[in-house]
A and B are shown apart, each in its own frame.
Chain A
């Protein structure tokens, strides 16, 4: 018979703070990775539900946001495989409220030219600031693969790729 659990007030408080701090950033990074804003929002919500279900474990991770990001990207990828005809909301059609921010559409265009695995690697490595080893572990690849993906991705993002060669 199950009788576990706890009062959960502190636990819930931690989760709410985490959600409020990281949710928008996760929506953006998943959008950049999967290229579909509506799907990204759904995926991030789903990943947060899963994080809350097992919050005692997830909050013990070094980077809970990276955990949510990976779950969201996997969920979105799997969902897209099953429902390929679903209407999408591509990045080009998004409402941008940050008019004051320098949006480099060239960078976005070049990002879209990268394979999804490379976008994912860049996000984990530079947005969530994971080390090469942690990024490799999160993606289930070798550190060498992470390094080569990062190197190739940065070359593709550079306006003058030759500077990185």
Chain B
């Protein structure tokens, strides 16, 4: 062994022996990573929508009235979610909202959600989603989802949201009823410092890094999932794995998705 090799070997030994770190938790690392993946996709979607809005605004105005600063930044808050009336106008005849013809798992549910302490844009979007779901109006739901270009509704690929949800319902999954039920539960909020910024999510347990069994109580009590489901999630990932809804502070519907 020459001198360089000897010194490198000593360096190796010193590094190896410096200390025994505390045990790591790979499950917690993966939970944080999964949550960030979802939130970062939602963040990208928000910026994309804002850029489209900025470009569209600039094109309509041709010359910015107040100088370049008016179109300089992709401010998410500048993108208004479409009003429910606008959405149905875009999609042809009004749906059979609340009528006997409405045919989906949410038909007959109460679209008047319990009041919650939410920012106005978030509250309005929550209400519009519930109304569209109760009316079994898939197209209106898709229009609400389209306020961001990368709304997340599936991790498995497939059709557009309306077709996707319609197919799930046809397969016997009460997906729209779950959507309304979720919005009736208490929300949680994601960390304002996270990649997507502050977002309201339903159910609240989805916002927790390391949920306890008790934290899953509301989704079990609401009949959305069973204790067996919770056990499976805790065993597999340690976190909530069912359907969840996310709306950002500007009122954009960011995701309605299950699994990871």
Contact = CB atoms under 8 A, between A and B. Distances in A.
Contact of A96 (B4, B19, B33, B36): B19
A122 interface: yes
Interface string A7-22: 0100010011001100
Contact of A1 (B7, B149, B260): B149
A38 B243 CA distance: 36
A2 interface: yes
Contacts of A95: 19-20
Contacts of B206: none
A94 B19 contact: yes
A96 B16 CA distance: 11
Contacts of B19: 28, 31, 37, 91, 94-97
A164 B13 contact: no
A93 to B, nearest CB: 9
Interface residues of B, number: 45
Contacts of B219: none
A122 B11 contact: yes
Nearest to B154: A3
A5 B16 CA distance: 38
A2 B45 contact: yes
B83 interface: no
B33 A29 contact: no
B155 to A, nearest CB: 4
Nearest to B33: A52
Interface string B228-259: 00000000000000000000000000000000
A19 B13 contact: no
Contact of A98 (B17, B145, B157): B17
Contacts of B21: 23-24, 27-28, 31, 37, 40-41
Contacts of B11: 107, 111, 122, 126, 157
A68 to B, nearest CB: 11
A28 B34 CA distance: 26
B209 to A, nearest CB: 11
Given A2-B152, A98-B17, A154 B7 contact: yes
A102 B37 CA distance: 43
A148 to B, nearest CB: 15
B13 A101 contact: yes
A164 B6 CA distance: 11
B30 A31 contact: no
Interface in B1-44: 3-4, 7-8, 10-22, 24, 26, 28-30, 32-34, 36-37, 40-41
A4 interface: yes
B150 interface: yes
A141 to B, nearest CB: 20
B29 A52 contact: yes
B85 to A, nearest CB: 23
Given A15-B30, A24-B20, A48-B29, A2 B151 contact: yes
A127 interface: yes
Contact of A101 (B10, B16, B32, B156): B16
Given A49-B33, A158-B7, 19 more contacts: A1-B160, A5-B155, A5-B156, A32-B14, A40-B21, A45-B24, A52-B29, A52-B32, A53-B40, A91-B19, A95-B19, A96-B20, A98-B16, A103-B18, A107-B14, A123-B15, A126-B12, A127-B12, A163-B3
27 contacts: A1-B146, A1-B149, A1-B153, A3-B158, A5-B157, A16-B30, A19-B29, A20-B26, A29-B15, A31-B21, A37-B21, A41-B21, A48-B26, A49-B33, A50-B33, A52-B32, A53-B36, A53-B37, A96-B18, A96-B19, A103-B17, A107-B13, A108-B18, A123-B15, A127-B12, A158-B3, A163-B3
